[in-house]
Amino acid sequence: MSWAGRGGRAGGSGGSGESGESGESGESGESGEFVESGASGRVAAAMAAQPRDRFLPRSQRRRAGYDGPLDIGHGQTNSQPRTVRAMLELLDVRPGQRVLDVGSGSGWTTAILAELVGPTGSVLGVELVPELVRTGAGNVTAAGVPWARVRQADPGVLGAPDDGPFDRVLVSAMAATLPVELVDQLGPHGILVVPVHGWMLRVERDDEAPDGVVVTRHGAYAFVPLITG
């Protein structure tokens, strides 16, 4: 569907993201819409290269194969693998691209994204919770993908506008409305995947579209809100 307007400001500033999925997430009402051409195999290979257990607290590692969110402390979780896979297929990341991971949490999605862009690309993860910034940054360093990094999110700032534009932006916490700030951080034909008001949206910059973006909806999801600092 085409978006009738670009929406208002999101209620968040780089908060819980990958670490913020609720236990009810991952049930898509339109599951057939997720797979982009060629994306499924690339995502599966990237996830296999960055096993989930390496990004979990020691107490949770034995549950790494569980297809649900797992607690990583500070009221946050490591996301359900099925949800991560579906969102990354929608994002359709290509080698050499610049990617922003809003709410990097444990660093798992940041590392997977790094596998997808390869050493000619770059990934920036931003996280609001200081303890998770330290944990996630350490996990990403240990993942062997030096073209990816995690840093503290700037309070009151959604995303990383000073580091843009980005080819792809991933957000895994629920926005109340389409976050225009993140759309504005996309380069030409850039793609944003974000849950908004209960639905997973894929947003593509298209200067020829009436509102400058084309938005499609891909199933019902539940996440914690995108938070402000």
Smallest CA-to-CA distance from 76 within 128, 35, 28 is with: 128
Tokens of 143: 């993942």
How high is the pLDDT of residue 186?
97
Cα angle 174-38-107, degrees, rounded to a multiple of 5: 40
Q: Identify the DSSP state of 225.
A: B
Q: Is 2 a catalytic residue?
A: no
Alpha helices, H only, the chain: 39-49, 81-91, 108-117, 130-142, 180-183
Q: Are strands 148-152 and 186-196 parallel, antiparallel or unpaired?
A: unpaired
How high is the pLDDT of residue 222?
80
How high is the pLDDT of residue 228?
55
Chunk the chain into consecutive blocks of 10 residues (it has 229) and report each block's average pLDDT, rounded to whole numbers.
Answer: 33 39 36 53 96 96 93 87 95 98 95 98 96 97 98 94 97 90 96 95 92 91 75
16, 19, 79, 172: the catalytic one is 79
Backbone angles phi, psi at 138, to 5 degrees: -65, -40
Which architecture, in CATH terms, is 17-220?
3-Layer(aba) Sandwich (3.40)
